[in-house]
Structure formats: C-alpha cells, structure tokens
Amino acid sequence: MSFWVTEAANGYGQTIEVTRELCVRQSKFQKIEVYETRKLGKLLMLDGIIQFTSFDEFAYQEMMAHLPYYAHGNPDKILVIGGGDGGVLRELARHKEPTVLDLCDIDAEVIRTAKEFLPEMSCGFDDPRVTIYIEDGSKFIKSRPGYYDLIIVDSTDPGGPGAPLFGAEFYADMKRALRPGGVIGTQAESPWLLPDVVKSLVDAARSNFRYVDYAAISVPTYPTGMIACCVASDDRILTEPAVLPDEEMLEVFRYYNAETHRAAFAKPQFVRQILGF
C-alpha cells in the first residue's frame, strides 16, 4: 500500500510516493508530517511544504552550515535560527573548534518530532555545546548584541511563522548580534519559483551589510530542484573559503568542498537580473 503526498504552493507542485505514515501532528504553529517514502527515505513536511528528504538533505544542510562556516574560517559562537529538524546543527557540530552552538526555533514540537522520528537528523542536539531556545528568532536575536561570529537562518518560507525572518529589520538585528568579522547565512529560496522574495531578502541584506552574495544549492526534492543561501558580512568577501576543509571533513562531506563553495556563486543571467548583480 502506498500513496502520494504533494507540496502544492506558489502555483507549482512536487509529489512523492509514500509507503508509511510515521507521524502527523498539529503544533501551535504548524502541521508536522513525517513519512517513509518509496525511493527517498524519510520525508518531513511543515504545513504541507517539504522540509527535507533523506535522499538529498545532505546537500542543503552541508551548504547552509559549511559554506558560511568556512567563509568565516574560525567562528567560535554560532547561532542557528529555525533548523528544528537538527540537520544544520548536525553539520555544525562536526566542527570541534566552536564553543557555543545555540539554536532558536519557534516550535518545540518540531524538535520533539525530530528527536522521536528523525535521529539521523537530530543527533546534533546531543552535543554538549548546544543550547536550545524556544522563541521567535526575530525576537531572540535582539537579546544578544555583539555576541555571535556566525548566524545561520534555517527557516520555513515567508508564508507562516518564518515571515519576520525575511525583513530588513531582522537583517539589521542580525548585524547587531554579530561580533566584528561576523558572517550570516540565510535560507534564500529559489529564484525560479520566488524571484520577488529572493530579491527582497537580498535587498534586506544589502541594506545592512557591505558584502552580500547568493549561493545556489542543488536539492532535487525542493520545488524547482534549487534553493540558495544568502551570505553577508561587513568584513569579508564570502565567495572564497577563508579556511579549507581538512581531509577528515572531506571524507564525511557529500556535497561541500572548496569547489562547490566557489561554484555556488556562479550566477546565470536571469539570477543576476533578479538580484541586480
């Protein structure tokens, strides 16, 4: 027995064959669904939007975590906003040098679900350097001026509780929360599907940071097969890794390396035109 689940949003659909329902629950903020699929391992959806499949989640988590991490080079205090499935945190926890790994998600139920049904994603939560805050990231960020070296925003789309994480005020607050030399990396949508959202979030970053760029990530199970990370800093060019991953890391990584770091910033003309590069 199998059935198909569909993400249908923004006039576009993505359909995946499912063999087993693992969990369907409604939190205060969103509907949380976890399935076993026929071809793609596990699938997490929030409010009907695909958050990851086991098949290609490494591409997204590695690029969202390691591209900003290596662009900085040696971040000590790191914050993830959103990221309740644990995937980005799992990647960051591979680095031994940082002393603080904070994660702020608005929805404790996503974290609980990940710990219960997605141990391969949520394993990073067990790292002793991790502190979890359950709060709206747009409010939490105001309470930490000049504290973080690296802030990664692994949010849902702007339609739901993630909406405040896409505005200029939030980018200004992230800038205030950074130490000198700090870097941010934010979930920056697909230019195929949401060009207006992409332009507006990159403009929000540009109005606050000196260096801003847009890195594409190939993720087949996201609609249009592409998502991106917007990186920004006042102090560094981000298109080159400041430090290269060592051999031990490269053996673990399945997507990130110095070449995919640099190549992610190569933009087709239509993306340049959207972003005004």
In the complex with ligand SAM, which residue's Cβ is closer, 69 or 236? Answer: 69
Backbone angles phi, psi at 248, to 5 degrees: -60, -45
Q: According to CB under 6 A, which residues from 24 to 53 bind ligand SAM?
A: 46, 51-52
Measured between alpha carbons, how far is 265 from 269 in angstroms, rounded to an integer?
12
Burial class (CB in 10 A: 0-12, 13-18, 19+), 117: middle
The only residue of 71, 106, 184, 238 in contact with ligand SAM, by rule CB under 6 A: 106
In the complex with ligand SAM, which residue's Cβ is closer, 75 or 83? Answer: 83
Query: Catalytic residue at 235?
Result: no
User: CA-CA distances (angstroms) from residue 144 to 78, 83, 223?
Assistant: 12, 19, 35
Q: Which of 47, 105, 154, 173 is catalytic?
A: 154
Measured between alpha carbons, how far is 137 from 106 in angstroms, rounded to an integer?
7
The only residue of 7, 85, 149, 213 in contact with ligand SAM, by rule CB under 6 A: 85
CB of 97 to ligand SAM, least distance (A): 25
* 107 interacts with ligand SAM by CB under 6 A: yes
- Binding flags for ligand SAM, 211-240, as an x/- string (CB under 6 A): ------------------------------
Measured between alpha carbons, how far is 224 from 232 in angstroms, rounded to an integer?
24
Backbone angles phi, psi at 262, to 5 degrees: -65, -45
The only residue of 68, 98, 124, 137 in contact with ligand SAM, by rule CB under 6 A: 137
The only residue of 37, 53, 122, 155 in contact with ligand SAM, by rule CB under 6 A: 155
Q: Which residue has the tokens 């992610």?
A: 264
Q: In this structure, what token pair is assigned to residue 71?
A: 């662009």
CB of 223 to ligand SAM, least distance (A): 10
CB of 248 to ligand SAM, least distance (A): 26
* 105 interacts with ligand SAM by CB under 6 A: yes
Chain CA centroid to CA 139, Å? 19
- The torsion region of residue 69 among left (phi > 0), alpha (psi -120 to 50) and beta comes to alpha
Residues lying near ligand SAM in the complex (CB under 6 A) are found at: 46, 51-52, 60, 81-85, 104-107, 110, 136-138, 154-156, 161-162, 164-165, 187
Active site residues: 154
